[in-house]
Chain A
Amino acid sequence: MPPTSTKTAGAGPVAHLRRGRPRRGSARVPVVLAVPALLGLGFLVLPLAGLLIRTPWSSLPQRLTAPGVLEALRLSLVTATAATLLCLLLGVPLAWLLARTTFPGRRLVRALVTVPLVLPPVVGGVALLLVFGRRGLIGGWLDETFGITLPFTTTGVVLAEAFVAMPFLVIAVEGALRGADARYEEAAATLGAGRWTAFRRVTLPLVAPGIAAGAVLCWARALGEFGATITFAGNFPGRTQTMPLAVYLALEQDLEAAIVLSLVLLVVSVAILASLRDRWITTP
């Protein structure tokens, strides 16, 4: 019996030949667009240039090594890193829940998670005070039961930064999870992997780049946090005074010190931008 006319392979793909490429750059830009575009560019770049121009380069080494600066920088790096770890610990499972399961009110939860993105950070700080403050809903209980005080401590700084930065991580990781093929998890299940094993050995490695990118973004946001931190944790040098707070304070007393501190933050931000360039910044 001859196998018959069940052909699965169709005719070869028809080659769509494109004649010429769309020419770029040669189109004339209308003045109504060109002028605001250039103004916008200047608006974004000039302040940064101003920062560089006004930097007291000659006294930079002394100023950088001044005790307050290094202390603030160290505190900023430590709290931003701790906040990022906290966000990873809580945010990745939350992102998994949003991406992989269905439960009533999932859309509402998703909306709630993004609220800190649009909420003014100062409001976030006030809200944190109301819950974790010494008379707050949870803070009061923590204070009475364990003698733990959160507001106006370094831990408070970490909480404030995590509150503001976590949505960045959750949204990045949720996107990565949605982009990852859930059938890999099914394949893992058929090989005997329970859901936790499948998550740990298959899902997590698959979305690792997304988690890394989300973590860097989250860290950058935490590093720059100002409003929630000053509201919830105050401004105590060495304890809660992070770089942005130090810049603000310095501005009132010593302009050059503020410039130097700003420069340090600028350098850190540009370094992050460079590390993310390939993944996030390049346009398709």
Chain B
Amino acid sequence: MTELLDAHLVVERPGFTLDLPLTAAPGEVVALLGPNGAGKTTALRALAGLLPLHGGHVTIGGRRLDDPDTGRFVAAEKRSIGVVFQDYLLFPHLTALDNVAFGPRCRGVSRQRARADAAGWLDRVGLAEHARRRPRQLSGGQAQRVALARALAVRPDLLLLDEPLAALDARTRLDTRVHLHRHLAEHPGATVLITHDPLDAMVLADRLVIVEQGRVVQSGDAATVTTRPRTDYVARLVGLNLYRGRADGTTVELAGGFRLATAEPQHGEVFVAFRPSAVALYPRQPDGSPRNTWPATIVAVAPSGDNLRIELAGPIPLAADVTPAAAAHLNLTPGARVWAALKATETTTYPA
């Protein structure tokens, strides 16, 4: 597959450098996932042409748009891009229809055709009857759809979405996510989606690029990223316990000398991951099949879905999920000492 977007974004800020290689094929949706301050929005602004690069390049559809080495910089208004901003930035003085028609108008389409075109886009996002409304008369979900229609109406090679669902409440977010997914699937160009919500990224994107402190720490499809996280941030996002150590067969020695028994034999530097629900807690030292048991101290207890998430300290920091019934039985309060047990077969080991 030839890449529609081929970019290497280098932007320098005092105390921060973004250094992000990024590609996307036609029809592909790439999610940039990362914590706040990771440089995601900077990356989007650089792709859009709202911020010049300090190094690297941006090429869309074979056209070089930004290349500091040759001094080439194509301004935002001359790029084939569509942007859905986090707070949509619909023009408050224009109707929904004229907001959507704005892009085609700027690209030389006649007023009549631009409006007809815009009406078609509004129909496609299910807002045909809201064409005459102003942005302030639209709900959050409707405004998001108008913003999407406005960005798509210029038929961009590259569609950029900045936290498209962050401004919505939980209920609207669910509907809008499904809706957005359909439109992204139909979009023939490439899409780069910026989010800090792993669920949005996994539902909407074909490929995840995880960014921390301006750099790619991991990339791959949702299945790989969720089962084989490579940083603490990703492990927290997908809810796994993650450790790094040195494997020798089915034993992994972690930093600090703690040893974990694992199922798959590996050698050398590895990651070990397991789910919090795979951990069992006992009031006394258990005597049974689990090959990993160790004493731990409870640090915090918080609800997690139908269960309780227990944070523990000990030879390794650990998260464990237990049912409320089990918690009542065990007297799980911060400061209490318990034993943790983990079956070797519950662990996943993969090379670091």
B85 in contact with A8 (CB, 8 Å): no
CB contacts under 8 Å to A, within B44-93, are 48-50, 75-79, 81-83, 85, 89, 91-93
A8 in contact with B227 (CB, 8 Å): no
Taking a contact as CB atoms closer than 8 A, the residue among A3, A181, A186 that contacts B199 in the complex is A3
Taking a contact as CB atoms closer than 8 A, the residue among A4, A9, A184, A202 that contacts B238 in the complex is A4
Taking a contact as CB atoms closer than 8 A, the residue among B77, B81, B92, B226 that contacts A206 in the complex is B92
CA distance A197 to B107 in the complex (A): 11
Interface size classification for chain A = 20 to 34
Report if A188-B304 is in contact (Cβ < 8 Å); known contacts: A3-B199, A6-B237, A194-B77: no
Task: Quote the shortest CB–CB distance from B104 to chain A (angstroms).
Answer: 8
CB contacts under 8 Å to A, within B155-192, are 166, 169-170
Interface size classification for chain B = 35 or more
B77 in contact with A193 (CB, 8 Å): yes
**Cβ proximity bits B189-228 to A, threshold 8 Å, 1 near / 0 not:** 0000000111100100000000000000000000000110
CA distance A197 to B105 in the complex (A): 10
For residue A109, CB closer than 8 A to chain B, the reply is no
A183 in contact with B89 (CB, 8 Å): yes
B227 in contact with A188 (CB, 8 Å): no
**Cβ proximity bits B97-140 to A, threshold 8 Å, 1 near / 0 not:** 00000110011000000000000000000000000000000000
Contacts of B304 in A (CB 8 A): 4-5
B83 in contact with A187 (CB, 8 Å): yes
Contacts of A208 in B (CB 8 A): 93
For residue B305, CB closer than 8 A to chain A, the reply is yes
Report if A193-B82 is in contact (Cβ < 8 Å); known contacts: A3-B198, A6-B198: no
CA distance A9 to B171 in the complex (A): 12
Taking a contact as CB atoms closer than 8 A, the residue among A6, A8, A181, A202 that contacts B166 in the complex is A8
Contacts of B49 in A (CB 8 A): 189-190
Task: Quote the shortest CB–CB distance from B76 to chain A (angstroms).
Answer: 4
For residue B154, CB closer than 8 A to chain A, the reply is yes
For residue B150, CB closer than 8 A to chain A, the reply is yes
Report if A206-B93 is in contact (Cβ < 8 Å); known contacts: A2-B239, A9-B170: yes
A201 in contact with B85 (CB, 8 Å): no
Task: Quote the shortest CB–CB distance from A184 to chain B (angstroms).
Answer: 6
Report if A8-B81 is in contact (Cβ < 8 Å); known contacts: A2-B305, A187-B89, A190-B76: no
B102 in contact with A201 (CB, 8 Å): yes
CA distance A5 to B310 in the complex (A): 12
B81 in contact with A190 (CB, 8 Å): yes
For residue A56, CB closer than 8 A to chain B, the reply is no
For residue B309, CB closer than 8 A to chain A, the reply is yes
For residue A205, CB closer than 8 A to chain B, the reply is yes
CA distance A218 to B106 in the complex (A): 34
CB contacts under 8 Å to B, within A168-211, are 181, 183-184, 186-194, 197, 201-202, 205-206, 208
Contacts of B78 in A (CB 8 A): 192
Which single residue of chain A is at the shortest CB-CB distance from B302?
Answer: A5
Taking a contact as CB atoms closer than 8 A, the residue among B93, B107, B302 that contacts A205 in the complex is B93
B154 in contact with A192 (CB, 8 Å): yes
For residue A1, CB closer than 8 A to chain B, the reply is yes
Contacts of A206 in B (CB 8 A): 91-93
Contacts of A197 in B (CB 8 A): 106
- Can you report 29 residue pairs joining A to B where beta carbons are below 8 Å apart? A1-B226, A2-B239, A3-B238, A4-B237, A4-B239, A5-B236, A5-B304, A6-B199, A8-B196, A9-B170, A181-B89, A184-B91, A186-B50, A186-B89, A187-B83, A187-B89, A187-B91, A189-B49, A189-B50, A189-B75, A190-B48, A190-B49, A190-B83, A191-B102, A191-B106, A191-B154, A193-B77, A197-B106, A205-B91
Q: Interface residues, chain A, CB within 8 Å of chain B?
A: 1-6, 8-9, 181, 183-184, 186-194, 197, 201-202, 205-206, 208
